[in-house]
Structure 1
Amino acid sequence: MNKETHTPLTTQDTPLAGRIALVAGATRGAGRALAVELGRSGATVYVTGRTTRERASEVGRTSETIEETAELVTAAGGTGIAVPTDHLDEERVRALVERIDHEQGRLDILVNDLWGGDHLLIGSVFGKKSWETPLADGLRILELGVRSHVITAALALPLLIRSDAPLHVEVTDGTAVSNRRYRENIYYDLAKSAPIRIAYGLGEELASYGGTAVAVTPGFLRSEQMLTHFGVTEESWRDAIAQEPTFAIAESPLFLARGVAALAADPDRAERWNGKSTSSGELGRVYGVRDADGSCPDAWAFIEDTVYGGKEGAAEDYR
């Protein structure tokens, strides 16, 4: 009888083995992919969010849960631990940090991917002046996109700095360069620019601890929610280009996740990235990672050149 053999995993395959990560906002989209890829690299990953198998958040989606994300982390080779958490609730966040402290004694990687405000954008925010935007919606966007990040960072950083190489990742929409352009509405602009400044400021504070703080952004993300918006699937996503031509440059959540996992394993990450903002496209070039289809899309360069710059160019030219 032939005995099946398996090639053992090496530290090269699992460069984050033994590392403890928290991905705040890991229910779906980039957060879920980030958690899974950190797990694939060997990390123990605490995944948080508001949608569980028993309860949905205000986003209103029940097809993705934090329990499922944790299972995907474990299936990828890591250890996934789901902890239902509303990151606007200080006591819940304190309890989360205390649990990680009790179970692990430290935190090495904090990924702040909190958002959950897309349902407020279409019709309520985009296309409206600040004074035309319902104030309650605008303030909710700031709570979801800024206050939640600040609460989580403030309460988790004392645990993070116990690590020998603390890494704080702020996930947002846009880089310091791209966000020099107004992001259509003042509330959205503030919500997506603040994480860039958070990373810059925390980079200053973490430097003396040998730490790194960096803001990262995907390009045009093919999240579950975006695919639903266009009425397509991951397999048929190109059908949405007829509705939105710039969707031709869209990328899967895996692309950013692979880039961040490579960054987390980079021994020179502080020198390269501390206090800076970067994109999935730049991480792909620096670390040689590719999207699921083997491409390396640079959505921000494509949009800057063709949408704002008026240049002729096909999306394939930017992959």
Structure 2
Amino acid sequence: MTNEDMTIRNVDPTLPERPLAGRIALVAGATRGAGRAQAVELGRAGATVYVTGRTTRARASEVGRTTETIEETAELVDAAGGTGIAVPTDHLDEDQVRALAARIDAEHGRLDVLVNDLWGGEHLLVRSVFGKQSWETPLADGLRILELGVRSHVITAALLLPLLIRSDAPLHVEVTDGTARFNRRYRDNMYYDLAKNAPIRLAFGLAQELAPYGGTAVAVTPGFLRSEQMLAHFGVAEENWRDVVAHEPSFGISESPYYLARAVAALAADPDRADRWAGKSTSSGELARVYGVRDVDGSRPDAITYFEEVEFGGKEAPPEDYR
């Protein structure tokens, strides 16, 4: 299955057609992976989607990938039936984020959905986190992880929330790695643990602040994400990703970026989302069960439960039992 195939398939037949028509969304960090897919699926549901990131056709970010750009993401949103608007933005630069907010204000006067999917620190994990204690991580790299995974989220929330509360039903989505329950286990390194738990607390707190405005916030996580970078790491494409399973069995529970994206689009279209999810952290697998969403191959993987029960819990079961 090609990336084009993934972006033209319907989200789910049970959802009303274009339930987000007329809604204004921002996906911060939409260059690739789950951020790109969420932008596309929000657009497919009818939204106008501002997509931001640091990699453009003219300039690459520190991640070093030039094969995905925010302009391409905006075009995929358009192709899915939405309206994609690419705005190059470094979310660690307050002036750039203020300019983004001013543009959305001038063009629409409000924001309905804010997806905070900022990260871009994978290269630092390989270099300075995996297999290292925190004191073995170069301080500059550790602080950069916190900038990319925490400070960028705080800046974006602080400067976009004034637009979000003008909506009649504001939704703030924090994208991270792991649920609150899953992250009771130490995430291997102090810097990474902090970076991936902070968005969960952000969502918890912002749900309290948005409630008087008829809105809510929720933290979401993919399972084992089969992102463009992950596929490149294993030397496969979406069409043949199962070739990896022979030497990496846990890859059998992996999911495409569109799995979480379809679930988030369904959440955004749910009029009862505040009652269901306010301040909580949830996963693609849990959201998929609630909303009847499936991945691009028709499966419904639950990587979080697989890792809890099999990888960490000692249960003997193949990944296929959790798809």
**TM-score, length basis structure 1:** 0.96
- Alignment partner for residue 230 of structure 1, among 213, 231, 234? 234
After TM superposition, the structure 1 = structure 2 runs for residues 9-24 of structure 1, keeping only pairs within 5 Å, are: 12-24=16-28
Which AA in structure 1 matches 2:154? V
Whole-angstrom CA distance in 2 between matches of 1:207 and 1:265 = 17
In 2, Cα distance between the equivalents of 1:266 and 1:110? 15
SS in 2 for 1:61: coil
1:294 to 295, 298, 305: 298
What is residue 177 of structure 1 aligned with on the other side?
A: 181
The residue aligned with 1:6 is none
- Residue number in structure 2 paired with 1:146: 150
In structure 2, the partner of 1:8 is none
**Equivalent of 1:116, from 117, 120, 133?**
120
Aligned positions of 1:262-273 closer than 5 A:
262-273=266-277
Q: 8 Å contact 2:176–2:199 — kept in the other structure?
A: yes
Shift of 1:245: 2.1
State the partner residue of 1:318: 322
Matched, 1:38 2:42: yes
The one-character-per-residue Cα deviations of 1:185-237 (angstroms, maximum 9, x if unpaired) are 11000000000000000011111111010000000000001111111111111
Taking the aligned partners of 1:15 and 1:238, their CA distance within structure 2 comes to 34
- Write out per-residue CA displacement over residues 153-207 of structure 1, whole angstroms, 9 at most, x where no aligned residue: 0000000000000000000000000000000111000000000000000011111
User: Paired residue for 2:102?
Assistant: 98
Q: 2:74 aligns to what?
A: 70
Give the match for residue 246 of structure 2: 242
Please give the alpha-carbon distance, in whole angstroms, between the structure 1 residues aligned to 2:19 and 2:44: 9
Shift of 1:246: 1.1
Structure 1: gaps spanning 5 or more residues:
1-10
The structure where helix makes up a greater share of residues is 2
Paired residue secondary structure (2:239): coil
Say if 2:181 is the partner of 1:188. no
**1:239 offset after TM fit, Å?**
1.7
Distance 1:91 1:222 in 2: 33
- Equivalent residue for 1:84? 88
Aligned residue type for 2:151? R
Structure 2 residue 57 is matched with structure 1 residue 53: yes
Query: What letter matches 1:130 in structure 2?
Result: S
Q: Quote the Cα distance in structure 2 between the aligned partners of 1:243 and 1:169.
A: 35
What SS is found at the alignment partner of 1:168? Answer: strand
Between the aligned partners of 2:216 and 2:299, the Cα distance in structure 1 is: 28
SS in 1 for 2:321: helix
Q: Spell out, residue by residue over 1:231-260, the C-alpha distance to the aligned partner (whole angstroms, 9 max, x if none).
A: 111111112223432111000001000000
Deviations 1:109-157 (A, max 9, x none): 0000000000111131111000001111110000000000000000000
TM-score by length of 2: 0.95
* Structure 1 SS opposite 2:134: coil
Opposite residue 145 of structure 1, the aligned amino acid is G
How far apart in 2 are the matches of 1:131 and 1:281?
A: 35
What amino acid is aligned across from residue 135 of structure 1 in structure 2?
L
Secondary structure at 2:135 match in 1: coil
Unaligned runs of 5+ in 2: 1-14
Structure of larger gyration radius: 1
Match of 2:213 among 209, 212, 220: 209
Q: Determine if the alignment matches structure 1 residue 162 to structure 2 residue 166.
A: yes
Deviation by residue 1:62-120 (Cα, 9 ceiling, x = unmatched): 00000000000011000000000000000000000000000001000000000000011
Per mean C-alpha deviation after superposition, the further-off stretch among 230-239 and 264-273 is: 230-239
Worse-matched range after superposition: 238-247 or 190-199: 238-247
Higher mean displacement: 172-181 or 242-251:
242-251
Structure 2 Cα separation of the partners of residues 103 and 156 of structure 1: 14
CA distance in 1, matches of 2:125, 2:37: 23
Deviation of 1:12 (Å): 2.0
Once residues 149 and 251 of structure 2 are traced to their aligned partners in structure 1, the CA distance between those partners, rounded to angstroms, is 24
